[in-house]
Structure 1
């Protein structure tokens, strides 16, 4: 089985907490992640939106674009508006041969609002969840028809956060909207990460290997503290530096024959947790557990020729 290892630039520059950002260029970010062994990088705020500009940067770094976040609003906004906003991103991602666009729901979400405690996050009724899931399926099918599949990101402080909410979403949606599995977000939400893989492996098309510090998470007062407070306190980290058993997680994916991207997405304070060092720690741990699970990790970055 083959796998690819990528990173998110959120370790270098945080889009929601600008103070948790390192003053490095895109080129230096790519250089550091590639030197640690990663062959892919998801799109961040310092990436150009013109493929004619992006491609030479990726080629020079020997890194491929392995995904990127789209802030969707389908829980409270029309399909047409989301289609209009995602259309340029679809064309960009097609031009640079990215595997998928990560759909993150920000409608009715408090994930980006530091004034809103975790306990105040929106909850959908059963009927609302069904309607939302049907809309996402339609949107996912449309994006795939345009030539770029989506991968749906369950997320803390969003309308699909908990294991039960994800189960309800998956039951009401269809294969037209694949799933991004994020181990850290599911653990933070109190879910059983291995059971989620068991239940939904057939739809998982992209994986975020985010680790957590459970001592930080367990110490939160969710009636007072927000998702961004948790990030600032160090709730997330890279595999090998946190509380999750990535040996078991990766083995579970291997058992189901998953082949594709495993992306380290670990937002932290770069002045405390140096991004290059964290990248090296994460890559070393992933290589250890992936080799044990029988994966061959691809070493080629930007496609040759």
Structure 2
């Protein structure tokens, strides 16, 4: 069964808090509920107490999906990472999450507005040899705790390009699932449809945002930072950019889980209510076209 959720980044940005900083949680949740959204991921304005978060979302007829967790497995081993994650795992599980969204954030530049994407970290062979088994071990530990690790490839991080996603998937064990993010995959130089088809049996979570190709190309050509590109509108909701979403969903005929709407835009330029409603309507249409009911 596919359920449609959203990330509050459609309203308020988590990497640059002033983007949508004036939008209250109540507006976000009311508009999400009215758009027919079934679940929400974690945003910085939401409580980090499991029962409190679960109740807040339930008051709006929604459930908790998951939340981002930054790993630093190039700096510490899997057992140390798991020990450091205990509080984060606890409140997520108490709030009702089934998956843990993780991204390796050693030396990442995606949250630094002054850092061009060209300055992002690129792993050496020796670093890959350390990172991959540690991620597998971490995922196994998290699975024992009762959550499924889904790895978020992301612009500005050590797993950005399709080649890096391939190396990551080849080098990690079955305890690690992939979070397919259509926007990051496309802007990172990949084909979201081809990637969905290639890893259909290991995709455990899906983030859907579209890409405005002219802005994506300009951002890379002119050395913009990730956040400057976001402010300029590199991302939008499904159906408003260049990605073949019906093709993505056709490539995932047996997928069961969450499909998460993300826009990651400046709400002063792109009204969240307008774009969220547009995105949800388009997602439902694309899913139906692909045979998902």
Q: Distance in 2 between matches of 1:213 and 1:75?
A: 33
Instruction: Identify if the C-alpha distance between structure 1 residues 122 and 226 changes in structure 2 by more than 3 Å, giving closer, same or farther.
Output: same
Q: Distance in 1 between matches of 2:124 and 2:195?
A: 21
Q: Distance in 1 between matches of 2:277 and 2:144?
A: 38
Give the stretch that moved more between structures: 167-176 or 51-60.
51-60
Gap runs ≥5 in structure 2: none
Q: Distance in 2 between matches of 1:52 and 1:198?
A: 37
TM-score with structure 2 length normalisation?
0.95
Determine if contact 2:180/2:203 at 8 Å carries over to the other structure. yes
Query: CA RMSD for the aligned pairs?
Result: 1.4
Q: Which residue number corresponds to residue 123 of structure 1?
A: 122
Q: Which residue number corresponds to residue 255 of structure 2?
A: 258
What is the CA deviation profile of residues 167-221 of structure 1, one whole-angstrom value per residue up to 9, with x for unaligned ones? 1111111111111000100100111222212221211100001111101011124
Q: Distance in 1 between matches of 2:150 and 2:32?
A: 23
Q: Which residue number corresponds to residue 152 of structure 2?
A: 153
Give the superposition deviation at 1:32.
Answer: 0.7
Gap runs ≥5 in structure 1: 297-305
TM-score with structure 1 length normalisation?
0.92
Q: Distance in 2 between matches of 1:54 and 1:120?
A: 36
Q: Which residue number corresponds to residue 109 of structure 2?
A: 110
Q: Which residue number corresponds to residue 23 of structure 1?
A: 22
Give the superposition deviation at 1:81.
Answer: 4.1
- Residue aligned with 1:230, SS: helix
- Residue aligned with 1:157, SS: coil
Give the superposition deviation at 1:51.
Answer: 2.3
Determine if contact 2:54/2:64 at 8 Å carries over to the other structure. no
Determine if contact 1:130/1:173 at 8 Å carries over to the other structure. no
What is the CA deviation profile of residues 208-253 of structure 1, one whole-angstrom value per residue up to 9, with x for unaligned ones? 0111110101112456311111111111111021111111111111
Q: Distance in 1 between matches of 2:251 and 2:117?
A: 30
Q: Indicate which of 243, 264, 268 corresponds to 1:267.
A: 264
